[in-house]
Structure 1
Amino acid sequence: MENILMLQVLFPNIEKEKNLYSDLAEEFVKQGYNVYVVTIQDYISADVVKKSTFVEEKLGVKVLRVKMPTKYFNTNFIEKGITTELIPYYYKKAIKQFFSNVRFNLIVPISIIPGMYKIVSYLKKRNPEAKTYLLLRDMFPQMAMNMGVLPKPMYYYFRYQQIKLYNLADKIGCMSAGNIEYVKVNLPEVDSKKLCYLPNWRTIRERKENTIDFKKEYGLEGKIVAIFGGVLGIQQGLDFLLKLANEIKDEYPKLHFLLIGNGTEKEKLKKYVIEKQLHNVTIIDRIPSQKYEAALQQCDIGLINLDGDLKVPHIPSKTLSYLEAGLPILACVDAHTDYGKLLEEEYKSGKCSLYGDLKSYKNNLIYMIDKQGRKKMSENGNEYLRNNLTTNHIVKKLLGSL
């Protein structure tokens, strides 16, 4: 049986929560592989934080949780940058300590930490036959540079690491055709033959009977609720969503915007809601996954938002949870992503406009007030997910490319 090592930063307690990468790990196990994960302890759930590095096994996945001296989540950009630089050293030390006797056949790093090349290089020297499949889910450092949060000297430093990581990979899984083209143009040092289309994925599970009346709990009964769940950060451009809420608050009183999560922009967004007296907006902290699933099932529209300054093709993974819940999607994105094309032409499950185009954004929302229009988009999206984007489909695609 082959051994797979996944190098992560965000890996939940999979007995309680799921995400993109835990779904992937569980599917590898189902298909007969030994799966190992290395991740940091600095995760939102307090139940996975301990005083030292440790290994736990849950649902057949061996997870090495590395204790870091600095934070990566819910902190400032300086500390996050320091942690980004430290992760490769701490991961390598932990792998030597806990997984020294394991020979990995497949290494699956993520692109968000370019310094992962140091670990991949070390592991390949230890086992020259090992293959590497890089999951390109975030164009760092380009995205951070475009958002103005990364100085030029640091950008070039991380870009150097990025190229080394990409060149060590046997295959690079990109989220969209636009993603592939972006790498070809902006990273010509990388062999384009390595680039593969690997869309985001989701494991569809049997739904448990829901006893939570989410709308009633938050006073949203009788409302058409548009929900955003995730990071409330600068990359999401949620300031523009609130401009839409302000534009439409008196014209369509039944519409309500619900933002769930934490992030660097949260307090700024709350302040704007108070200043503009946005009675049609509710912002709440991150909630347990069971309650969030209830929210998705009972709300009416899923929101996707990307800031106009990203300038990098990005495909938000939360799309998949919306599609599974049967939520039609209202999206507002930057001009450089092909997300809108995927949403409207492939998934056929929503409407998309460009960040800054308030007229189009408003018209798309008004269109989605119609229940029959939402129903058709809901059916289209759920069907597309089941036929093309399940984790089972994607693992076969990933392994087949190798």
Structure 2
Amino acid sequence: MEELSMKKRYRRVFVLLFLLCSVPSQGCGDDQLLRSAWDAAVVGGTVNDQHARLLLDTGADGTGIEIRLLTEMRIALQRERKIRAPSGTTQVRFYEPIGIGIDGFETVRVTPGGIELAGLNLGGHVSFDGLVGMDVLNRHTVLISRGIVSLRERVPAEFPVVETFATGDRVEDRADLPVSMSEFGVREFRVDTGMTDACQFNDRLVKDMLHRGALVRGSTAKVTDIRGAQIIDRFVLRELTVAGVKCRNVPVSTGQYNAIGLELLRHMNLALDFPRRQILIGKPPQDVVDRFAINASGMAVGFDSAEALKVLAIRPDSSAETAGVQAGDVIVQLDGRSPAELSIYDIHDILARDSKTISVVFCRGQDEHYIELPLQLPFEYPPNWAALDARQKDFEKFLEKLESDPAPAAKP
């Protein structure tokens, strides 16, 4: 009797295991809608140039996952639910991924909210190989090109990022992201989704920007938050200077550069850390710095193979052009200091001091010239749309060339 009882127990365990393994698989197999949604959500991608499958979750409460897909993931059983499929009512189990490591980094499930990053609408969640987790974004640079999503390890942000704090109601709070930079202090700003031309700033931060013409007073709105109804002023952001890069607020045409100022993603290393709702900003890539004069002097500069600081390009109608500086000139003294004492980032910081005047000594052939160079970032309002469009196309061509030739040969 005891032996027979043990056989029955083994049989029951076997049947139970069979049912556990077959129910989700059967559910996904019978319900073509679920399978189609799953297949449509998977896109090709790379993690540090290694192929990976990236699953884009549309924000539904759960996803039907076959058990064979769970073997290498840490998965938590979320809930069970009956769905009506063409073949009849089927019991389907929904699983929620709770954590997985990507290149040694643990990720967590979070809700980003409706924010667009590089044209990809993150209205729900983003999954990496079935995992929902955006924490990886504060350690990787996300690149989206020709429909392929790529993750690359990024250098830690040059500027510290602080924790956010709750202000206002949920909608207003979710739209405001803090950025902390050692030179500029903390700034709260709303990510421009392309559907609004107004950005909300805290009152204590707007006085200086209004004085400089960086903000234009817009409409007055009445909002209700946890503290009750209050009147807030909305301001149209005309420009924002971040690490020497002047970002202009112009309408979005494609959403590819859908960030405040609309030029931030073109010139900056930018990542969003959704769990803490932070924006991480790093220094512009050196190849971009060399190609585009993005500082207040109008000069793009760089060290050549002989460690000489050369002028690479001059922005038309800039202070440098007015002072007679030309591409190819060698700078021997910058603001009273020798370039040999400075790193390239120190130099760009000096050239980015808007509304300041610095001394520059440069050589052209055997002749030495001394000038007082006023630093002024250009800004026109309304913008020259034709020029901006031409610049955008020029920059896109430049990026395409970098993609096709990521490591160009050094010039002799």
TM-score range, shorter chain: under 0.3
Normalised by the length of structure 1, the TM-score is 0.24
Normalised by the length of structure 2, the TM-score is 0.23
Higher helix share: 1
Q: Which of the two has higher C-alpha Rg?
A: 2
Higher strand share: 2
